[in-house]
A = this chain, B = another copy of it.
Amino acid sequence: MAETSGGEGLLYLTDEQLRKGIEAMFFAYRGFTADPDRILETLEYGRAHHRALHFIHRAPGTTVSNLLAILGVTKQSLNRVLRTLIDDGHVRSEKGRKDARERHLFLTEKGETLERQLSDAQRARMRAAYRAAGPAAVQGFRQVLEAMMDPDMRHAYNRLKESGA
């Protein structure tokens, strides 16, 4: 688009610019997780619990293997977290009707409440950042992030995007 002749217009691809992007990702991700982390701490939960809650909220009835694929962890790792969430009454696990081997996961009311509390905190920061940067910047933000994903994750992301729109 803005590719002019001899290499001008490509200044945004210099190592220096890329390094800044890398550092921006690092520092921003810390901010991104800071607010929910503070809430989780008081509940003896961690980021892993938050992620599970988020995606179960987002795709109610999702199966365990589905969740494994999205989160990219082993079932042993997920199970530890899921176990506590179920025991604490935040998540309900339901035997599949079509395929009884599968477990479908749902948030209970208590789970929905917690999820909302966590995501309210996270969204508040996101909203402030979006508002400060403006709609055009947000579009660019999303474009770059999407391009940065592994293809598999991009597909998972787009599937969620569609279902949610």
Contact = CB atoms under 8 A, between A and B. Distances in A.
A123 to B, nearest CB: 4
Contacts of A18: 123, 126-127, 130
A144 B130 contact: yes
A45 interface: no
A108 interface: no
Interface of A: 1-2, 9, 12-13, 15-32, 34, 51, 54, 58, 72, 119, 122-123, 125-150, 153-154, 156-157, 160-161, 164-165
A116 to B, nearest CB: 10
Closest 4 A/B residue pairs (Cβ): A140-B140, A137-B140, A129-B147, A28-B145
B23 A157 contact: yes
Given A20-B164, A119-B22, A28 B148 contact: yes
Contacts of A140: 133, 136-141, 143-144
Contacts of A141: 21, 24, 137, 140-141, 143-145
A12 to B, nearest CB: 5
A32 B136 CA distance: 23
B144 A2 contact: no
A114 to B, nearest CB: 16
Residue from A9, A143, A147 with most neighbouring chain B CB atoms (10 Å) = A147
Given A16-B164, A18-B126, A19-B123, A2 B134 contact: yes
Contacts of A22: 32, 54, 119, 122-123, 126
A104 B35 CA distance: 33
